[in-house]
Structure 1
Amino acid sequence: MTQQDQFGFRNYDLPKEVERHQTATPQANYTDPKQFEQELDSVFESDWVMVGRVGMIPNPGDYFTAQVGTKPVIVMRQSDGSINAMGNFCLHRYACLLEGAGHTKRIVCPYHHWTYQMDGALIGVPDRVGFEKDALQGLKLVQLSCDTALGFIFVALCDDLDPVAERLGDLGDLIGNFGLANYEDRHVVHEEHWDGNWKLLIENFIESYHTTYTHTGSIGPTNPTNLAEFGPWGAPGFAIHSNSYREEDLPEIYNPNLTEDEKRRFYVISLFPNGLAAVDANFVWWMALEPTGVAQTNARWGLSYAPQTMADTADANAFCATIRDVIETATAEDKEMVQRVQKGASFGTQTPGFLHAPLELNIKEFNNYLAQKIAGEEASC
């Protein structure tokens, strides 16, 4: 099946297997602490979790910290150029080793100065004679599965999962002409706290019904709801649609590999379970979600830019600043609505709401993925 065949059902046409009547998940899905704990266990601690972009740590010794489910982790560029993920705790008495993002040639515990190489191998223990010698031989920080795809970094607590590229299936081909792995990662926000359940951020991002009505100060006028396009239904690892540009608002395109369809599309992608990416010819706006409570989420997010755009636009810094301003406005608009949904869901009605077909069908795909994970139909640790 060609890319053109895979993408672009419009005018509310639906795949044959999809019914018009779709219901939303109950309000308790966003407020129940037991449901939240189950998601941390069955999803975040049993699957690949997106944590950021490879360009955030370009040099050996560059690192950032993240949360995978309830587990604190370190993501670090190694001396050979590879990326490693490790448990963020000292093997001595468990102190958190690193915070935020930065650069270091050694990982030194701030508590008692146990010292580790970049790969996590223990190389220094003050007053070592106070410990039984053999007990400290060959110790290394807990090593976690780490993989990359499309320029994004994924970490898993399991060691038996299929590679990320394999589970994303056709997505790499579908957006291959963009060269997303080569986009320059120029802006990252590590802490963006939202007062809402993590699933509300996913659902808000991947439906186009709200675009015209919520984003009046940002992308609503240029990428209206009525130009949304949808493509392949039922993929196991992702959901995708396009908030396409109006013809009069098409940006200048610097990538010669794109088709006419690709030039107008602003692809909106959910990388299950917690990754989000909005991709156009010149930039990608991405988020990696970290649930911190049943109604609290940290959204690590950033903006990455096509290298052709950075090379050929008249003023790359001004272009980046303009995009950042638009996205920051869009983020503020989304945050207000996510908070409103969280507040409304606290009523606790048992009567489910509705999903628009097709404008909110990607929510259905996401919920299908969650149901399978929680039911144990996918690989788990």
Structure 2
Amino acid sequence: MLDRQTTHALRAEPQESYTDPALLEREQTHVFDRDWVMVTRAGALPNPGDYVTAKLGRRPIVVIRQEDGSIRAFANYCLHRYAKLLDGSGNKKRIVCPYHAWTYTMAGELMGVADREGFCALKTREMGLEELACEVALGFVFVSRRFDLPAPGARLGELAALLANHRIEDYEDRIVVDEEIWEGNWKALFENFIESYHVTYSHKGSIGPTNPTKLAEKGPTGHDFFSLHHNSYRPEDYPPIHNAALTADQRRQFHVIALYPNGLAAVDPNFMWWIALEPMAPGRTNARWGLSFSPHAMAGMEDPEAYVEAIRQTIVVATAEDKEMVGRVQEGAAFGSSERGYLHDWMEVYLAEFRQYIDGLCAAD
């Protein structure tokens, strides 16, 4: 039994961390307004004009593939009376405001104003949507309000080296779900994903039998912008391998990855499950998620489409199981106790590292 007086034990965050509106407001300002935020996968926007709308914290944005193949991000409001321009995802060659039909190019330039003579004092040809910093790293799209931050590729260079044999930047993005509402704080969802302590006990109907908690392996610790550990397969459940570059260890490992501050990924030899979190309220989060597949697996399997569907069904069940537990955390934290819980010495050390990162941003001036 854990001695409650032990001073070196890792402590969980206070319950109010999941319920306090003022704290969420501070996170919106100090984290989502000031850091790189993961939005989606570049492969979810394969064609010029493909777009997805999202939230940069509380701020509506749109990410859109350009004619030259680049991806750019803009504030998602009209320069006239601030109406939101786009919803959901789709493809547009022009962005037309639904309110008064002001029209913008894919590059955010204002190209048309209805009843133009009524705005004679405006130099509309010089006007455009507010652009945001937008970078692609490891196949993920990151957006920021700031242009002075180190690029995500530089921040995640060590992670890229660890995953070099997988080449997740080349994984085919087959499934994307833009809206998946969780009744829980965004940090509770993030923390649930990045520890394997719960897998056997919470995921009885999905990944628990094949990736039992007892086989979880510690990964490197102390990285500034990410964490990584392994939730390994039982020998009898090793997946078929189609990527010859993978090592013996990589062939049996299911990598669990945190991309600070809001990105998550689980990387298997054949597929990847990723999530990008958008906090909506202290106890409510949108989790955009998707499934991406190794091109080696898609080329090597007899029926790749059946495999994609089988993985989708497994992840749907796993998501439902996780949703229940995150909801239970949210309900339990509503008690408001000042007594802090305890963390597993290594399987939950990544929670402590994540909180150090968030707390560091929130403490900054």
Range into which the TM-score falls when normalised by the shorter chain: over 0.9
Aligned equivalent of 1:226: 214
| Contact 1:43–1:370 under 8 Å retained in 2 | yes
Confirm or deny that 1:99 pairs with 2:87: yes
Identity of aligned residues (%): 55
Counterpart secondary structure, 2:132: strand
TM-score with structure 2 setting the length: 0.97
Given candidates 331, 351, 360, the residue that maps to 1:372 is 360
Given candidates 343, 347, 353, the residue that maps to 2:335 is 347
Given candidates 263, 266, 278, the residue that maps to 1:278 is 266
| Contact 1:20–1:357 under 8 Å retained in 2 | no
Given candidates 296, 313, 318, the residue that maps to 1:325 is 313
Confirm or deny that 1:149 pairs with 2:137: yes
Given candidates 98, 109, 113, the residue that maps to 1:110 is 98
Aligned equivalent of 1:287: 275
Confirm or deny that 1:86 pairs with 2:86: no
Q: Which amino acid aligns with 2:76?
A: N
Given candidates 64, 68, 80, the residue that maps to 1:76 is 64
2: CA distance, partners of 1:39 / 1:189: 25
Q: Deviations over 1:124-156 (max 9, x none)?
A: 011101002443231010000001111000000
Given candidates 160, 171, 190, the residue that maps to 1:202 is 190
Aligned equivalent of 1:192: 180
Query: 1:371, CA displacement in angstroms?
Result: 1.1
Query: Which structure 1 residue ranges, 4+ long, deviate > 4 Å from structure 2?
Result: none
Q: Deviations over 1:185-237 (max 9, x none)?
A: 00011110000000000000001110110000111110011111122211110
Query: 1:98, CA displacement in angstroms?
Result: 0.4
Aligned equivalent of 2:14: 26
Counterpart secondary structure, 1:111: coil
Counterparts in 2 of 1:288-303, with a 5 A limit?
288-303=276-291
Q: Which piece of structure 1 moves more, 163-172 or 37-46? A: 163-172
| Contact 1:168–1:236 under 8 Å retained in 2 | no
5+ residue gaps, structure 2: 1-6
| Contact 2:111–2:125 under 8 Å retained in 1 | no
| Contact 1:285–1:302 under 8 Å retained in 2 | yes
Q: Deviations over 1:49-76 (max 9, x none)?
A: 0000001100100001000011100000
Counterpart secondary structure, 1:365: helix
Aligned equivalent of 2:245: 257
Aligned length: 359
Q: Deviations over 1:6-56 (max 9, x none)?
A: xxxxxxxxxxxxx96100000000001111100010001110000000011
Query: 1:364, CA displacement in angstroms?
Result: 0.7
Q: Which amino acid aligns with 2:304?
A: A
5+ residue gaps, structure 1: 1-18
Aligned equivalent of 1:312: 300
Aligned equivalent of 1:121: 109
| Contact 2:258–2:264 under 8 Å retained in 1 | yes
Q: Deviations over 1:63-95 (max 9, x none)?
A: 010000111000000000000000000001111
2: CA distance, partners of 1:327 / 1:70: 28
Q: Which amino acid aligns with 1:140?
A: G
2: CA distance, partners of 1:137 / 1:79: 20
Change (3 A) 1:284 1:34: same
Counterparts in 2 of 1:209-220, with a 5 A limit?
209-220=197-208
Confirm or deny that 1:58 pairs with 2:46: yes
TM-score with structure 1 setting the length: 0.93
Counterpart secondary structure, 1:159: coil
RMSD: 1.0
